[in-house]
Structure 1
């Protein structure tokens, strides 16, 4: 259903009907039970059409993506409000959690909770998206209806930061929980 609405919004926008596009995207937002990424996509397009979320919705954390640049490549961890999560190791190994329920000890929701005060404290990034961080750097990306909020610094600096440190710590706990789901010596797995 959401993809039909996204297509409808795109068709309306291409024909110059911004009101129709906004209406279709708002229907996505009003549809219960969608993936967090679908709500974020709708907000992305709505902002492009000049629409802004209400203040009460603007800083809602739908997702957190952590990027840690290592000498061998980029580790990426993503957690979403719908209790899905992904971990992509620089080696190419991956774990995808689509269980719809949080993992044992709630590491997904703990990561989102750690990111909420950061989203409230900083504004959304208004510039073009930056390339992946260089080796030694870490980036915290917080995904909200008002846009991307992020912080980037050397890993050790960000880990010691009063706001960034708790986010990275909760991220490490989620990463470990996801890795514990993977069979030994598995290059890639999907868990649910």
Structure 2
């Protein structure tokens, strides 16, 4: 995926960040990767203590913990001990986009530019461990990042890292040449490439 960034891209109109794909189904899957819309997950009047317990439970799914933290922030409660629990890497390609998401619990989601989706629920072990390594490597880059999630998808020839934190998501993005000059972002990219290689290998083995 990332090697394709060396190719030249023509300028294209901006695409909304919540609708980068050609179908509603794919856009819904894509939006869920960021775990930043709690919606009706916790009902109208949940017990704050229960939501806080979910947010800090290391045995709970990472995306559910992020949604719990999002609900807490939206309702005036700070999440206890905010953590970085995921990273989403987006690369626009040929009028579509490759999206790779990794979570601290070892889960992985990948949407290929063709629309094909790969889902890994904490297995196989090499994929899960690499997902965890990617998230761990993303923590220093998250601390440095300041930009909130933009309203538009990354532009042609760029890539975007969205760091998923219980304290709110942050973004680092730029052209490939910019990313490789940033040691923190470069390390995230390298770990992401390792994870993508494993994901593609699993797909080819099926």
Please indicate the TM-score interval, normalised by the length of the shorter structure: 0.7 to 0.9
What TM-score do the two structures reach when normalised by structure 1?
0.76
User: How far did residue 102 of structure 1 move?
Assistant: 3.8
Q: 1 CA distance for matches of 2:114 and 2:41?
A: 39
Question: For 2:96 and 2:119, how far apart are their aligned partners in 1?
Answer: 19
Q: Mark the CA change 1:53 to 1:113 in structure 2 (over 3 Å): closer, same or farther.
A: same
Over alpha carbons, which structure has the higher Rg?
1
- In structure 2, the residue matched to 1:71 is 94
C-alpha change, 1:117 and 1:102, in structure 2 (3 Å) is: farther
Deviation for aligned residue 1:49: 0.7
- Per-residue CA deviation, residues 51-96 of structure 1 (Å, 9 max, x unaligned), is 2234xx23x2200100111233111000001101011111112221
Displacement of 1:171: 0.5
1:16-165 superposed matches below 5 A: 20-29=46-55, 31=57, 33-54=59-80, 57-58=81-82, 60-100=83-123, 102-103=125-126, 106-123=129-146, 125=148, 129-165=150-186
Structure 1 gaps of 5+ residues are 1-5, 13-19, 187-192
- TM-score, normalization: structure 2? 0.72
Matching residue of 2:29: none
Count residues in correspondence. Answer: 168
Following the alignment from structure 1 to structure 2, what is the Cα–Cα distance between the partners of residues 21 and 124? 32
In structure 2, runs of 5+ residues without a counterpart are 1-38
The answer as to whether partners of 1:22 and 1:49 remain within 8 angstroms in 2 is no
